[in-house]
Structures are given as C-alpha cells and as structure tokens.
Amino acid sequence: MNEKLSISLPSEMVAAIKSRVDAGAYASTSEVLRAAVRVWLREEEEYQERISAIRQKISASMDDPKPNLSGHEVKQRLSAFFDKHR
C-alpha cells in the first residue's frame, strides 16, 4: 500500500530529481525518491550493524580476564619489547 506524502525540498534537489526523470533514468519523481529512501535505509542498517559490532568488541574487551596495566606498566612492556627486537 502506498501513502502520499507532501515534502519540501531545496530547488537544487528538485532540479536534480527532475533532470534524472527527464533523462529517462527514472519513470517519475516518486521513483527517484523511493530509490533514495532505499539507499538511506540500507545505509542506516549498515550503520546499526557497525555500531553493534563496536559494542560487541567493547563488551568483549571489558570482559577480558587479562589483568589491567597502568600506563607506566604499558610503557615498560613496550620498551622491553622494542629493545628485544632491535
């Protein structure tokens, strides 16, 4: 089922939409806007998937049983590592 919406767009966007329709790339302005909304929805879904993956990594990191190190301990370990591999 389709619903009708009334929207306001800047004249540059309207001109771009009309030029795509006039060029035959789309049958109507509605088709252009449906294609744009599909792209937006896909981007939103991908964004949510990335956020979810980041949250999972953060959670795994927070639950990591390895001991926490102070900044000083990290610096010591890195210095030892680089000294060993020079």
Is residue 40 situated within a structural domain? yes
Domain that holds residue 42: 11-64
Query: Is the pLDDT score of 2 beyond 80?
Result: yes
Is residue 34 situated within a structural domain? yes
pLDDT confidence of residue 28: 97
pLDDT confidence of residue 68: 80
Is residue 22 situated within a structural domain? yes
Q: What is the pLDDT of residues 12-67, one digit of tens each?
A: 999 999 999 999 999 999 999 999 999 999 999 999 999 999 999 999 988 888 87
Question: How many separate domains does the chain show?
Answer: 1
Query: Is the pLDDT score of 1 beyond 90?
Result: no
pTM: 0.65
Cα torsion angle, 74, 77, 83, 85, sign? negative
Is residue 85 situated within a structural domain? no
Instruction: Please give the residue that has the higher pLDDT: either 69 or 14.
Output: 14
Is residue 18 situated within a structural domain? yes
Is residue 79 situated within a structural domain? no
